[in-house]
Amino acid sequence: GPALLFVKTSQGKEEGRRFYACSACRDRKDCNFFQWEDEKVSETRLAAREEYNRNHQPSLTHRQNVDRYKNFVLLPLSKRRFCRECQQLLLPAEWEEHSDHQFLCDISTAQLKSPSQLLYPLENKKTNAQYLFADRSCHFLLNLLIDLGFRQVLCVGTPRLHEMIHSKASQEEEFSVRSLLLDIDFRYSQFYTEDEFCHYNMFNHHFFGGEAAHETCRKFLHEENGERVIMVTDPPFGGLVEALASSFKKLMAMWKETEKEGHDNKEMPMFWIFPYFFESRILDFFPSFSMMDYQVDYDNHALYKHGKTGRRQSPVRIFTNLTPSMIVLPEEEGYRFCTVCQRYVSSGNQHCEICNSCTSKDGRRWKHCVLCKKCVKPSWFHCNNCNCCTLQKHSCEKTDVGCFVCGKTGHKRSACPSLSRT
C-alpha cells in the first residue's frame, strides 16, 4: 500500500530532507523501497516498480483460497495435507509439485479452526512480529469483553483472539460474539471468508481488497440491535506509534460514520495492547486512554511471560478509553482494587500518598523521591550531579550535545519545537 513520508535530519540543522519509504517494513533488507520527496522518477523506473509489485503478489486471490478451503474440508482426513514450507493447504492434485517438501498430514477440523498454531509465526520485530497471546491472556480478554457487553470485536492484528471467538461460535449455539480480523498476513485468507478476514496494513490504513474489503469493515462496525463494537489491537512493538495512531483514528472515524446519531461526542471503545514504556507516546495521540496493570503474555516470546519477576516479567499492558473501574482484573493472580484510584492494580503497585496515585508501571513497588517529586523504580537512586533519579552505576559525565534537530539543549529530538507535529 501507500508509503509513509519520513524526514532525514542532520545534527544542528532544523530543515531535513523528506523521503518516502515502506510503511510496513522498517528494515531495508525486507523492502528496499526509497524515494526522496522532491525526486523525479523516470518512466523506466516506475515500470520496473510495477513489474516488481506484480511479481510479489500472492499467487491466489482471497476468493480462490476460500473456494479451495471448501474443497479441502470435504476431503477425508487421510487426504488433508498442509505444506510446511509453502505454508499452504494442499489439495490431492497438488501433492506431486510439493513432493520434496515437508508435510503435515491428517489435518483435523480442530487444527483448521486454529490456524495460528498451524502457521509459522512471522517474528520479524520490525515488520510482522507475530507474538501470539498465551491462552491465559486470550481467555481473559474474551471473558472481559463478554462481561463488558461487547458482541462485535474488530481484531486488528490479533489472530489468536479472532480464532478463539470463531471456535466458540461454532461449538456453542448460545455464544453470540462475532469478530472480524484485519491483518497483514495473507496466509489467513486460506481459513477465513471475506466476511471474516480482511488483508490490511495497520501502518497506513490500507485494505488490500480495495473498496469491497473497506465496505466489509464498515458494515461490521455498524451496531445493530444494540450490539456494541470494540476494537482490540496488538501491533508490532517496533512499529511507529504515530503511524498506528493515524490508522486507528481512521477506523474510529469509520465507526462514527456508521451511526451519525449518538456517536458525536464518543470514541469507539478500544483496547490497544502495547509495552508500558510507550505510555506517554500513546497518550499524546489518545489523551482519553489510560493504562491497565494487567500483564499480557505470549506463547512464542522468550521474555514476555506472566509470573516472572523484575525485568523478566512481561512489560505489555492494555491501554483503553473505557472507564478504568470497569476493567476487572483477576484477584487470583494478585490484582486488587484501589478505592482511591478507582481501578484494579497489581499486588506490588502500592498507593503513594504524596502522588495520590498507584504509580508503579512494571508491577514492582516503586518509591517516592522528594527531590524529583515523583515515584521512581526501586533500583534507582537520586544523583545530585545529574539532578534526577537513575541507576546507581551510571556515568555522570554530561555531554554538551543537545537536540539532534536544532542543536539546543533542554529537550530531545522527539520534543523539538522545530519539528511539525503533523
Strand pairing class (270-275; 81-83): unpaired
Q: Residue 369's Cα: distance from chain center in Å?
A: 34
367, burial (CB in 10 Å: exposed 0-12, middle 13-18, buried 19+): middle
Strand pairing class (290-291; 351-352): unpaired
User: What is residue 30's predicted lDDT score, i.e. its pLDDT?
Assistant: 82
Specify the pTM: 0.88
User: What is residue 289's predicted lDDT score, i.e. its pLDDT?
Assistant: 96
Ranges 104-113, 206-215, 221-230, 335-344: which has the least confidence: 221-230
User: What is residue 69's predicted lDDT score, i.e. its pLDDT?
Assistant: 96
Residue predicted with more confidence, 306 or 50: 50
User: What is residue 193's predicted lDDT score, i.e. its pLDDT?
Assistant: 96
Over residues 376-390, the pLDDT tens digits come to 998 899 998 888 898
User: What is residue 330's predicted lDDT score, i.e. its pLDDT?
Assistant: 93
Mean pLDDT, residues 35-49: 92
Ranges 12-26, 173-187, 195-209, 221-235: which has the least confidence: 12-26
Mean pLDDT, residues 66-83: 95
Q: What is the mean pLDDT of the chain?
A: 86
Instruction: Give the range with max mean pLDDT: 131-140, 157-166, 390-399.
Output: 157-166
Strand pairing class (178-183; 197-201): parallel
Residue predicted with more confidence, 227 or 328: 328
Helix-, strand-, coil-residue percentages of the chain, each rounded to 5: 30, 20, 50
User: What is residue 408's predicted lDDT score, i.e. its pLDDT?
Assistant: 61
Q: Residue 121's Cα: distance from chain center in Å?
A: 15
Under 8 Å between Cβ of 328 and 144: yes
User: What is residue 299's predicted lDDT score, i.e. its pLDDT?
Assistant: 79
User: What is residue 234's predicted lDDT score, i.e. its pLDDT?
Assistant: 94
Binned at pLDDT 50, 70 and 90, residue 263 comes out as low
The DSSP-derived string for 43-96 is: HHHHHHHHHHHHHTS-SS-HHHHHHHHHHHHHS-GGG-EEETTTTEEE-GGGTG
User: What is residue 407's predicted lDDT score, i.e. its pLDDT?
Assistant: 58
267: left (phi over 0), alpha (psi -120 to 50) or beta: beta
User: What is residue 413's predicted lDDT score, i.e. its pLDDT?
Assistant: 60
Going by the DSSP 8-state scheme, the letter that residue 349 receives in this structure is -
Class of domain 135-347: alpha beta
Whether 420 has a pLDDT exceeding 50, the answer reads no
Over residues 156-200, the pLDDT tens digits come to 999 999 999 999 998 888 888 999 999 999 999 999 999 999 999
Mean pLDDT, residues 85-110: 92
Whether 141 has a pLDDT exceeding 80, the answer reads yes
Give the whole-angstrom CA distance, residue 200 versus residue 116: 17
Residue predicted with more confidence, 397 or 422: 397
